[in-house]
């Protein structure tokens, strides 16, 4: 049982997309469409090239935005506002997940590579408003994205959390490498398990996993 591994935790860090809602919702599909269109418009390339760059920058820089900023000096704020202007109808409130998060002892925060206003809308649509002590977006990390260590250093310093007394839940396994190195307990939330040294736990059911900690 995982409960014994979390008895020291005082701060619970949750990623947003495909973590606080299931990937089957496919909310990020809408964002990817808008990202591709933004790249097409800003760089004057066709759809195929925009898709190639979007994926290339995600792999090389952590996010498409980070690649656009570093390779093309893109202004991040209009980009973030545009790509997150999506429809949230696919999201449903999850009363069980809300109860599990509410009952966790200590601070609960959201930390996403998206922007905080977008995260706030997702949290609201999931019926999780009022449960988190803070919501941090990529803007709070000076636009350094996970998995960059500088991103975690900046956000965790702002929050004042003690890494060795924190746990992180994240759907992208690569984003758990630095938190693991910093001393956080790491939980990979995804349909498929990946056997990685920096992943302590895996679950495909966040609410069910949290229930086992209470």
Domain at 117, CATH number: 3.40.50.1000
Domain that holds residue 42: 27-83
Q: Residues 198, 129: one domain? A: yes
Q: Residues 120, 158: one domain? A: yes
Give yes or no for a contact between 79 and 65, defined as CB atoms under 8 angstroms apart.
yes
pLDDT, residue 126, reads 98
pLDDT, residue 121, reads 97
Edge-to-edge, what's the strand order for the sheet holding 134-136?
Answer: 134-136, 107-111, 11-14, 166-170, 185-189, 201-203
- Residue 52 belongs to a domain with what CATH number? 1.10.150.450
**Count of domains observed in the chain:** 2
Rounded-to-5 percentages of helix, strand, coil across the chain: 50, 10, 35
Q: Residues 8, 32: one domain? A: no
Q: Residues 99, 190: one domain? A: yes
Q: Residues 106, 144: one domain? A: yes
Q: Residues 109, 134: one domain? A: yes
Q: Residues 104, 127: one domain? A: yes
Q: Residues 189, 104: one domain? A: yes
Nearest-CA neighbor of 120 among 16, 199, 12? 16
Q: Residues 31, 119: one domain? A: no
Q: Residues 42, 77: one domain? A: yes
User: Which of 83, 108, 126 represents a domain boundary (last residue)?
Assistant: 83
pLDDT in tens, the chain (214 residues): 689 999 999 999 999 999 999 999 999 899 999 999 999 999 999 999 999 999 999 999 989 999 999 999 999 999 999 999 999 999 999 999 999 999 999 999 999 999 999 999 999 999 999 999 999 999 999 999 999 999 999 999 999 999 999 999 999 999 999 999 999 999 999 999 999 999 999 999 999 999 999 9
Q: Residues 148, 183: one domain? A: yes
**Beta-strand (E) ranges in the chain?**
11-14, 107-111, 134-136, 166-170, 185-189, 201-203
Q: Residues 41, 110: one domain? A: no
pLDDT, residue 2, reads 85
């Amino acid at each position: 049982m995982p409960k014994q591994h979390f008895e020291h935790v005082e701060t619970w860090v949750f990623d947003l997309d495909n973590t606080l809602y299931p990937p089957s919702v496919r909310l990020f599909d809408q964002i990817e469409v808008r990202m591709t269109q933004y790249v097409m418009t800003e760089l004057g390339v066709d759809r195929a090239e925009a898709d190639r760059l979007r994926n290339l920058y995600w792999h090389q820089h952590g996010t498409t935005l980070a690649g656009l900023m570093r390779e093309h000096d893109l202004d991040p704020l209009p980009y973030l506002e545009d790509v997150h202007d999506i429809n949230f109808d696919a999201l449903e409130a999850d009363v069980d997940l809300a109860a599990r998060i509410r009952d966790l002892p200590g601070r609960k925060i959201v930390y996403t590579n998206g922007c905080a206003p977008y995260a706030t809308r997702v949290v609201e649509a999931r019926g999780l408003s009022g449960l988190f002590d803070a919501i941090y977006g990529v803007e709070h990390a000076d636009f350094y994205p996970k998995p960059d260590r500088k991103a975690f250093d900046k956000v965790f310093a702002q929050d004042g959390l003690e890494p060795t007394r924190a746990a992180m839940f994240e759907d992208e396994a690569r984003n758990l490498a630095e938190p693991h190195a910093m001393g956080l307990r790491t939980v990979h939330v995804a349909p498929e398990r990946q056997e990685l040294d920096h992943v302590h736990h895996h679950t495909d059911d966040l609410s069910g996993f949290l229930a086992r900690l209470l």
